[in-house]
Amino acid sequence: MAFSEGRDPLEHTSLYQRAESEDSDAEGGLGNVNKLIMRPPGHSGKAKKGHICFDATFETGNLGRVDLISEFEYDLFIRPDTCGPRLRLWFNFTVDNVKADQRVIFNIVNISKSENLFRHGMTPLVKSSTRPKWQRIPREQVFYYKSAQHQNHYVLSFSFAFDREDDVYQFTLTYPYSYTRYLGHLDNLCSRLSCTKRETLAESMQKRNVELVTITSDLEDTERPRKVVVVLARVHPGESPSSFVCQGLMDFLVSAHPIAQILREYVIFKIIPMLNPDGVFLGNYRSTAMGLDLNRSWNNISTWIHPTLHATRSLLQILDKDAQTPLDCVLDLHAHSNATGVFVYGNTYDDVYRYERHTVLPKLLAQHAEGYELLNTQYNQDHNKAGTARRYLCSTLKDQVNCYSIEVSMYGYKRKGISDVLPYTEEGYYRLGRNLARVFLEYYKLTGLIPLGLPDQPSNRRTRQSRQRHRLPREPRPRTVRTPATLHLASIYEYFQEEAEPLPSARYRSMSGTRMGQQPGTGIASETGTGVGGCRSRSYRFRSPGAPLERVQALTKRPAAEPRLTIIDFNQLTKGGLDLATSKNKPTVLRRNIKSRRCVAIVSSRSCEENIFSKL
């Protein structure tokens, strides 16, 4: 399709007559869409289910225009940064008034940065009002390609199926982190903890506060020699992952972990979590409310145009002149839109020793941060980056101050041996902030600030203080009630005494522990476990295998067997059955050597039979 010269590259044709967003600003679509309902051509009156409603008039929202292409397809236009029409990458909008099982195709047609992570498999995020957890749209439904209908500009297209009519769906580039959330986190962090101090550093052009948070063990102790670390974040509004990393670092530093306690004793942390609150609130990608990139303005700071940078530079200069608590390190947290993993941008110096000392902290970060990309780490003196924080501050502050830009991917990271990219989650960014605190511990151990041998891991042993001081009294356990079992009908027999058989010659036990002897008159060895006449030898329990048994005196009386219980069912008793039952259950006399050789017969079996039949 041929295009005439001078034609707007964002203008395109469609099967339908183009339905533009009526609520957008007339000047290049600088405003966000406000409850825009997309009706099909020729339809008038009240909107029906399925006439999608787009909205971006909320904090961090960005969607400038919507065009209806066909019944199921929509072209979306990102609103450029305020006063910066060339910057278009961040988008964040909601969709409602959908119909169940309605399928649509969204085309984001005016992305200004063609080299981005969508080429590496990144997909937009989506959530709904009933499912508030962010999820990535599957790769099979996302396409990033050159569009011939838009003069070969890159277009991001993704298909989506709405499954719940009452839900409000939200689509965004990466996890949003708003100005309101930032203030709420600081309220929770600094209101209850004594190791934190919060103060307003400056006000933005639109009168939003830029807060400074100080974290250390004793805020009033100014005599102890300690070093200062300054952390800057969110200088670019669209790089929201840097806010998650900064929050993870702050949450860890105020915790009760041994590493956090050690760091608070020897280091003072000065943290500015959001340098560009106006751009964050407006939903810009890189600019302030006046269209300025703060990370290109450090070498040309104006008190009126850059109030946040001016206040930050004044703070750094004061800290740099303090001899008691000197400034040691400055970190500038960013999120990268074209690289995976986490890496560092540093500086290079003519002094070899200064350069080697400058590379220590990135090497420690490579050991502790999961997904560290060593190939993306750079040390340079690029003149095009002269206005960045790391390039400007390293030339104005003292030589011992190290300045870095720490970059984390908007998408994900790679593990060793795995080619696929693992997407970051909010918890993954928090974990990176916690690992950054561990890097500081190892760094200051190497430099000698923190002594070696301090416990840096929580103890697994339970101390007295961790136990419950006031134990609740326990109720005594109820005693077990024991009742004798009921006996129905028993026949107790009288045991007769007989003379014991003569004891044979000495017998031996086999090596397996069983006794072997000859049976009388047979010459065959027996493997019984009892002695002669069923009586065990007295030394049976105390004799080793294979030892000969001593002779046992012959018993003069047969021992009495223990009583046995016999239950007779008279309903099934026939003639002669009682004699049969009593003879069948008559106990066999056991020849045992027991301590008590007397047995008293209570009732004889014959008398028991007579009593039974007399009752019948």
Residues annotated as catalytic are: 407
- Here the tokens at position 168 are 């409000």
Which amino acid makes up residue 31? G
Which amino acid makes up residue 26? A
CA distances from 205 to 253, 285, 302 (A): 31, 17, 12
Measured distance CA(121)–CA(141) in Å, rounded = 11
Nearest of 222, 205, 327 to residue 275 by alpha carbon:
205
Nearest of 174, 170, 108 to residue 336 by alpha carbon:
174
> 63: Cβ–Cβ under 8 A, 6 or more apart, which residues?
32, 33, 54, 56, 76, 77, 78, 79, 91, 92, 93
- Here the tokens at position 486 are 């009921």
Measured distance CA(76)–CA(64) in Å, rounded = 8
16 burial via Cβ count (<10 Å: 0-12, 13-18, 19+): middle
Nearest of 122, 120, 36, 115 to residue 79 by alpha carbon:
36
Q: Which residue has the tokens 């018993």?
A: 555
| Angle (nearest 5°) at CA 332 between 330 and 338 | 150
Q: Which residue has the tokens 């609740």?
A: 472
Distance of CA 429 to the CA centre of its chain: 11
Ranges assigned E (strand) in 236-279 = 267-272
